[in-house]
Structure 1
Amino acid sequence: MPARARRSDARDNHALLLAAARAVFAEDGPDAPLDRIARRAGIGNATMYRHFPSRRELVIAVYAGEVASLTSGARLDAADPGAELFAWLASFAEHVRDKRDLALSLTTPAGGHETLFAQWHSTMNETAAALVDRAKAAGAVTPDTDPLDLLLLATGVALANAPARTPHLLALVRRAVSTP
């Protein structure tokens, strides 16, 4: 028997909870009170717990949505593949800087987060690889440009926690791999 589709009010509540959780976590971090998220969504705590029985499940859903947004934002049909690659790397650096605490809140001494992290990293690596391949094909970056190297450099830029310097630092990276 096929799974029943969610009722429209349940879908709406789910979406409201995710939007509220994104906003509250961005404001107060991943340890923000869950009842504040329910209030922001305009629903009761019991409804929230029916959708997300634990904080961990809510954080996973929010972070998975952030990763999906980041990777789906890559324009693999952009007219200027080099510009798109570095625009996406800027978004990636912002993601690392702004969402790091959310992701790290999922790590526990008991583990269990490794599979999730591997899936998310794989998705981001695949997106970066596709963008680098297009930039290489367009002659925008050198043939030896490695997607993982760019992700590591962008991560370093993000962890420097100097948002005002991020565009300059990424421009330095771009100059290092751009073709003459």
Structure 2
Amino acid sequence: MQHADAPTRRKRADAVRNTEVVLEAAKSAFAELGVDAPMREIAARAGVGVGTIYRNYPQRSDLIVAVFRREVAAVAASAERVEREHPPEVALRAWAEDLARFVATKRGFAAALHSGDPAYRPLPDVFLGTVGPPVQRMLDAGAVAGTVRGGVTAEALIRALSRLVDDEASDGIGGMAGLLLDGLLGPRP
């Protein structure tokens, strides 16, 4: 029995590698087959046994949540990177392209998120709480610089873009989402 003040064990290198490989395989399978992709398919793509997946993710929802959180972290990292590297209007457009790819390849998550399963209830807030702050900083900086329409919240922009992105947006923003950005930022030069 482990005591509460005993140090937590670090994962072995192969266990960490397996976790990353499983999450990447699940992401790929979910994008292709939806979140109901067979666990055997995910295990085969990852090159691990099905038991490895169930040992780490006892419920399908555990795996879906882990993939979702990992992808949200990537979208947030993208927002922080472009915020540092570009003026606000350029950063927002570049980040919106990343968001479009995220939304287009995660259509299967929508069904899970709206399924009523309590495991997914916190995920929209996780998304907004993780991605919202850097997006709000870009919006605020652009409003101060006069290059972005003022008074827009990150939550409103994220929700609008997420709803307007086309299924074909894996190549970037287009259609109504592009029109929304053009109205917020002005047409592309």
TM-score band w.r.t. shorter chain: 0.7 to 0.9
Say which is worse superposed, 164-173 or 11-20, in terms of deviation. 164-173
Say which of 70, 78, 86 aligns to 1:79.
86
Corresponding residue for residue 29 of structure 2: 24
**What pairs with 1:96-107 in structure 2 (closer than 5 Å)?**
96-107=103-114
Corresponding residue of 1:145: 152
CA displacement at 1:127 relative to structure 2? 2.9
Partner-residue secondary structure (3-state), 2:106 = helix
RMSD: 2.5
State the partner residue of 2:130.
Answer: 123
- 1:95 match: 102
Give me the TM-score of the superposition, normalised by structure 2. 0.81
Contact residue 139 and residue 179 of structure 1 kept, 8 A: no
Which of 55, 60, 71 in structure 1 is aligned with 2:60? 55
Deviation readout 1:107-129 (Å, 9 max, x if unpaired): 44453422232222222222321
User: Would you say the 8 A contact 2:101–2:172 is kept in 1?
Assistant: no
Amino acid in the other structure paired with 2:95: W
Note if contact 2:100-2:172 (Cα within 8 Å) is conserved in structure 1.
Answer: no
TM-score (norm 1): 0.85
Change in Cα spacing, 1:150 to 1:115, as seen in structure 2 (3 Å) is: closer
Cα distance in 2 for residues equivalent to 1:165 and 1:83: 14
- Structure 1, unmatched stretches of 5+, are none
- Would you say the 8 A contact 1:90–1:167 is kept in 2? no
Preserved contact between residue 38 and residue 44 of structure 1 (Cα < 8 Å): yes
Alignment match, 2:118? 111
Secondary structure in 2 matching 1:76:
helix
Which sits farther off after the overlay, 73-82 or 97-106? Answer: 97-106
* AA in 2 matched with 1:19: E
Contact 1:90–1:154 (CA under 8 A) maintained in structure 2: no
**1:139/1:28 CA distance change after superposition, 3 Å:** same
- The alignment-based identity, stated in percent, is 30
Return the offset for 1:85.
0.6
User: Is the Cα contact below 8 Å between 1:60 and 1:106 reproduced in 2?
Assistant: no
1:30 and 1:59 in contact (8 A); partners too: yes
The aligned length equals 179
Cα–Cα, structure 1 residues 93 and 149, in superposed 2: closer, same or farther, change >3 Å? Answer: same
Q: Which residue of 2 aligns with 1:40?
A: 45
Unaligned runs of 5+ in 2: 1-5
